[in-house]
């Protein structure tokens, strides 16, 4: 049994790449829609790997009673010509349906398989699939809500050299840049007990939007830490204090059931901000 799912095809490879401006415009519109949503849709991407399953475990831990949990497997159409690979896809579906069926009512979960053209990268297919969700008629029974959070497994950075100072690694970083919805990158499976959330913020509208979206995730007893990284000089410290006051004012006017802290993290002039973020993530 599948909780409302189905099989859908990713858009054809000939469709032109969207520009950064187009992606940002879609992402802004999506974020505003998600802020108005009554319930959340939490989507986990899987390829059957252990890292993808970590993302599934996190997605389960993040959902609340009224939220919908979806598992989406993106596979190549080439798989259909390989009996062993096709069997693997069946096993992936069986694994998640077997776990979800006794866990949640059928209206609160679904499993979807998205078939992409073999010459389309998975990164590209994910971006097109998420963007295409908004084009499905609202009364279509196969319509999947735009993810409030898209959970993606992540194994680690392969290159730590100064020449490629990327926080996530090039493939993961580029993938997230083409997905117009909030993403949760999962390094480890969730631990038992209260959860701790961390959000890096700057004085930018996109950061504020991320903050408002993130406030929907923590439950009572959880904690959220907001971190602003700034140059450790007097002029920057004044701006940082103003930013902190802005967030604290909002939180005073919108009390939460979980603890929220704001940390200012100064860095010496000339220090690469990416390295500071590396340290924060690696020590999280």
DSSP 3-state assignment of 283? coil
Which residue has better confidence, 281 or 132? 132
Lowest-confidence region among 35-39, 146-150, 167-171, 240-244: 167-171
Cα–Cα nearest to 171, from 119, 118, 127, 207? 127
Contact 225, 265 (CB under 8 A): no
Which residue has better confidence, 69 or 20? 69
* Helices 205-214, 20-36: inter-axial angle, 10-degree rounding: 40
Cα–Cα nearest to 107, from 71, 67, 138? 67
Q: How confident is the model at residue 217 (pLDDT cuts 50, 70, 90)?
A: confident
Cα–Cα nearest to 271, from 239, 242, 231, 240? 231
Q: What is the pLDDT of residue 11?
A: 47
Question: Could you tell me where the DSSP H helices lie in the chain?
Answer: 20-36, 50-62, 83-103, 122-132, 170-177, 205-214, 234-253, 273-282
Task: Please give the full DSSP string across 187-213, using - where no structure is assigned.
Answer: SSPPPSSS-EEEEE--SSHHHHHHHHH
Contacts of 69 (CB under 8 A, 6+ apart): 42, 43, 44, 59, 60, 63, 100, 104, 108, 109
Is the pLDDT at 13 greater than 50? The verdict is no
- Which residues are paired to 265 by β-bridges? 229
Q: What is the pLDDT of residue 163?
A: 42
Please give the mean pLDDT across all residues of the chain. Answer: 77
Contact 76, 88 (CB under 8 A): no
Is the pLDDT at 250 greater than 90? The verdict is yes
pTM comes to: 0.72
Q: What is the pLDDT of residue 282?
A: 66
Residue 184 phi, psi (nearest 5): -120, 115
Question: What mean pLDDT comes out for the span 186-210?
Answer: 86
Residue 238 phi, psi (nearest 5): -60, -45
- Residue 171, number of CB atoms within 10 A of its CB: 14
Which residue has better confidence, 99 or 80? 99
Task: Please give the full DSSP string across 103-138, using - where no structure is assigned.
Answer: HS-GGGEEEEEEEE-TTS-HHHHHHHHHHHGGGS-T
């Amino acid at each position: 049994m599948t909780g409302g799912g189905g099989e859908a095809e990713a858009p054809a490879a000939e469709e032109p790449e969207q520009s950064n401006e187009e992606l940002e415009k879609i992402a802004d519109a999506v974020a505003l829609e998600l802020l108005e949503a009554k319930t959340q849709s939490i989507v986990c991407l899987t390829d059957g790997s252990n890292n993808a399953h970590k993302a599934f475990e996190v997605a389960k831990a993040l959902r609340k009673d009224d939220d919908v949990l979806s598992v989406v497997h993106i596979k190549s159409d080439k798989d259909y010509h390989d009996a062993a690979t096709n069997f693997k896809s069946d096993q992936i579906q069986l694994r998640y349906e077997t776990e979800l069926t006794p866990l949640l009512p059928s209206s609160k979960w679904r499993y979807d398989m998205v078939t992409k053209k073999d010459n389309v990268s998975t990164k590209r297919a994910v971006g097109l699939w998420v963007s295409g969700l908004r084009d499905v008629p609202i009364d279509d029974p196969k319509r999947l809500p735009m993810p409030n959070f898209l959970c993606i497994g992540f194994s680690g950075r392969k290159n730590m050299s100064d020449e490629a100072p990327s926080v996530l690694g090039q493939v993961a970083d580029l993938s997230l840049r083409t997905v117009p919805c909030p993403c949760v990158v999962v390094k480890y499976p969730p631990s038992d007990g209260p959860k701790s959330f961390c959000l890096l913020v700057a004085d930018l509208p996109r950061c504020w939007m991320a903050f408002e979206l993130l406030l929907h995730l923590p439950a009572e007893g959880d904690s959220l830490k907001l971190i602003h990284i700034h140059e450790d000089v007097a002029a920057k410290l004044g701006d940082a204090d103003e930013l902190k006051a802005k967030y604290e004012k909002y939180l005073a006017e919108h009390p939460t059931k979980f603890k929220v802290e704001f940390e200012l993290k100064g860095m010496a002039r000339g220090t690469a901000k990416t390295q500071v973020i590396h340290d924060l993530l690696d020590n999280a």
